[in-house]
A = this chain, B = another copy of it.
Amino acid sequence: MRQSRYFLKTSKTFSEDDKVVSAKLLKQGGFIQESVAGRYYFLPIGHKVQQRIMDIVKEEMDGVGAQEMVSPILHPVELWKETNRTNTTGFELMKVKDRRGSEFALGGTAEEMFVDLVRKYQLSYKDLPFHLYQFSPKFRDELRARGGLLRVREFIMKDGYSFHRNEEDFTKTYEEMKRVYSRIFMRMGLSTVIVEADNGYIGGEYCHEFVVESEIGESRYFTTKDGTYAAHEDVAKFKRNPANAGAEMFPFQIIDQPKWVETMDDNVKHYGKEKNNFLKNVVYKNRITGEIIIAVVTGDLEVNQSKLEHALTMVGQLESALDEDLAKLGTKHGYVHCWGHKGARYVGDIVLADARNLIGGQKEDATDSVNVNYGRDFTCELLADISAAKSGDIAEHGGALIEGRGIEVGNTFQLGFHYTHLMEGAVYRDEDGTEKPYYMGCYGIGIGRTMAALVEKFNDGKGILWPESVAPFQVHLLCIGETDEKLEKYADRVYELLSASGIDVLYDDRVKMSAGEKFFDADLIGLPYRVIVSGKTMAEEKIEVKKRSEKQGVLMNAETFIAQLGNK
C-alpha cells in the first residue's frame, strides 16, 4: 500500500487527555478516531489490526469445531425478560422501539438470542454438543468510557455459546476452551492469567477471566506464589482472622465511651485492641426496590459489593446508601447499629461466626456495647463471604495472596442450566425419548480491548511494536532523501519485489517529507520491519533493514531479506 494514497493520518502530538498509553498511541498513530466518547472509528490501518486479531480467533475457534454464524443485533426484549436480565443488567442495557412499538435490546451479550435460535429446532442428543460463535457489535451503556479501547460503549466481541448433554461433556469443552483461549492470546504474544471471576449479570455458577497483566488494567485479582490459586477480587476467597476465636463469651455490656471515639482508628486507640475486635457496618440501598441492606463485618475487613450482591442475589442492584437513607433509618454515618434498624436487612461476613467478644454494634453518643457475640446478642439474615481480600491475606488452601492488576481480554462462563431453565422449550430429546434441558457454556473475547492490551504490552517511548502475528503490515518501506526520479524508481522496484513475494508492505512514498518525519511515523506506527531505500543504499543496490525492536539497521539485498522473511 502506497502511503501517499492511504488514509493514514498520524499526528505529531497527542492529546493530554489520554493518560493511557494505548489510547495515546492508537490515536496518534492513526489507528482509531473517536466519534463521541467511547465510540470509535477503526481507520484502515486499525481495521487491519482488528481483522488480524479476528483471523487468529477464528482459526483457533474453527480448529476445535466451533461454527461461526451471525445473530441479529437487535434482540427482542421479550427474550431478556424471560431471563430477568432487563433488571439485572441495570442501566447498561440500551433499548430501542421500532415504529410498530416492538422493543429491542442492543445486546451486550447474546445468550438469549442463541438459546432462542436453538430452541426453534427439535434437537436430539445426537446433535449435541455444538458450539456456535459470532463476531458482532456489542453495546454497553457505560457511565464512563475510559482509556481509548479499554472501556468503550460499542465494540466487536467474539461471543460463543456451547450446548451440551450434561455437565461432564460441558466440562471437557470448558477445559478445552481455556487452552484455546490461552493459545489465541499467546499467538499474539500475550500471556494471560486465568482467574476465577465474578459472572456479573451473565448467570451460571463459575467463570474465568483471561487477564493480561498491566498496571493500567481494571481487573484486580489475587494469586498465590505457587500459582495454585488465581481469583478476581470479587470472588477471591481468603482465611479470616477472627478476634478471640474459641474464647469464652463474656457478658454483653453497654459501657460509657468518651465522645471523641468515633472512627475505627479512634476505637483502636481508645481500647488498645486490633481492628478485628470491632464491629463495623456498611449500608447499601437496592436501587430497584429501595431496600436498605446493612453489611456487618469486623474492623479489619472491607465489604466487597459484588460479593454482597451475589449473596443477596441482587446482582448489579446495590449502591451506597446516602445520608438521607440513613436518616430514614433514624441514624447517621458512624452510628449505625448491628441490629434493630427496622426495615433493614442484615448480612454478616462469615468472620462473625468465629469471632468472640466484639466491641461496637450499638454506638450512641456516649456509650457503646462490648462483649458482643454473634448468635447470642444479634443475628443477621445470613452470613456469607462478603469481604474483600487484600494482599497478604491467606488463601483458603494456604499461601499469601499477591495482588495483581490487568486487562480482561476474554472470559469463559459455565452457564449450566441457568438459561435453559428460564427459557421454555430449551430442550433436546435424549436417547430414552425424554426431553431434557441442555447444559451450556459461553465464551467471549473483546477484540478492541485485546488490541489495546497489545499496545500496552508492546510499546516504547517512540511508538508501538506490533507482534508480527497481528501487525497491519509486515514491512514499512521508507524512501528517504531528495526526490529524484532514479531513487523513486529504485524504491518502486523494491516495493514491487517485496509485494510480489507476498509480503504486505506499507510503502512511504510521500515526497517532500524529511527523513526525520518518516522515521517518526515508522516508529509510531510500529511495523515489525523498517526497510530504508536511499541514495546510499541504492548506490550499493541494497536496502537497509531494521527490526522495530532493534537499534541498528543492516544493509542487505532485497532478495536476502525476502528469503529471511520466508524462512521464519
Contact = CB atoms under 8 A, between A and B. Distances in A.
A126 B511 CA distance: 11
Nearest to A50: B70
Contact of A73 (B7, B116, B154): B154
Interface in A66-113: 67-76, 91, 94-96, 98-100, 102, 106, 113
Contacts of A68: 44, 47
Interface string A523-537: 000000000000000
B67 A6 contact: yes
A117 interface: yes
Nearest to A76: B36
Interface string A418-462: 000000000000000000000000000000000000000000000
Contact of A67 (B4, B7, B50, B69): B7
A187 interface: no
A170 interface: no
B98 A7 contact: no
A97 to B, nearest CB: 8
A141 B98 contact: yes
Contacts of A96: 94-96, 106
Contact of A72 (B41, B65, B113): B41
* Number of copies of this kind of chain in the complex: 2
Contacts of A506: none
A2 to B, nearest CB: 9
Q: How large is the interface on A (under 10, 10 to 19, 20 to 34, 35 or more residues)?
A: 35 or more
Nearest to A113: B35
A301 to B, nearest CB: 32
A255 B41 CA distance: 69
Is chain A's interface secondary structure helix, strand, loop, or mixed overall?
mixed
A374 interface: no
Given A36-B102, A153-B98, A4 B69 contact: no
Given A74-B154, A113-B35, A7 B47 contact: no
B35 A130 contact: no
Contact of A7 (B39, B106, B132): B132
A9 to B, nearest CB: 5
A206 interface: no
A252 interface: no
A35 B73 contact: no
- Most B CB within 10 A of own CB, among A4, A76, A98, A113: A98
A405 to B, nearest CB: 27
A40 interface: yes
Interface in A31-48: 33, 35-36, 39-44, 46-47
A172 interface: no
Contact of A139 (B4, B74, B130): B74
A137 interface: yes
Nearest to A91: B99
A143 interface: yes
B120 A33 contact: yes
A5 interface: yes
Nearest to A100: B143
A250 interface: no
B42 A69 contact: yes
A259 to B, nearest CB: 44
Contacts of A33: 117, 120
Contacts of A98: 94, 141, 153
A39 B72 contact: yes
A14 interface: no
Interface in A55-71: 65, 67-71
A71 to B, nearest CB: 5
A534 to B, nearest CB: 22
A460 B100 CA distance: 37
Contact of A137 (B50, B91, B137): B137
Nearest to A144: B100
Nearest to A510: B126
Contact of A69 (B47, B106, B120, B143): B47
A499 to B, nearest CB: 13
A137 B73 contact: yes
A378 interface: no
Interface in A110-169: 113, 116-117, 120-121, 126-127, 130, 132, 137, 139, 141, 143, 153-154
Nearest to A152: B72
A5 B65 contact: yes
Contacts of A72: 35, 39-41, 154
Contacts of A46: 69
Interface of A: 4-7, 9, 33, 35-36, 39-44, 46-47, 50, 65, 67-76, 91, 94-96, 98-100, 102, 106, 113, 116-117, 120-121, 126-127, 130, 132, 137, 139, 141, 143, 153-154
5 contacts: A7-B69, A7-B127, A33-B117, A96-B96, A96-B106
Task: Give 3 closest A-B pairs by Cβ, nearest first.
Answer: A39-B72, A44-B67, A96-B96
Given A4-B126, A7-B67, A35-B72, 10 more contacts: A5-B130, A6-B67, A7-B127, A33-B120, A35-B71, A36-B76, A41-B69, A41-B72, A94-B98, A96-B106
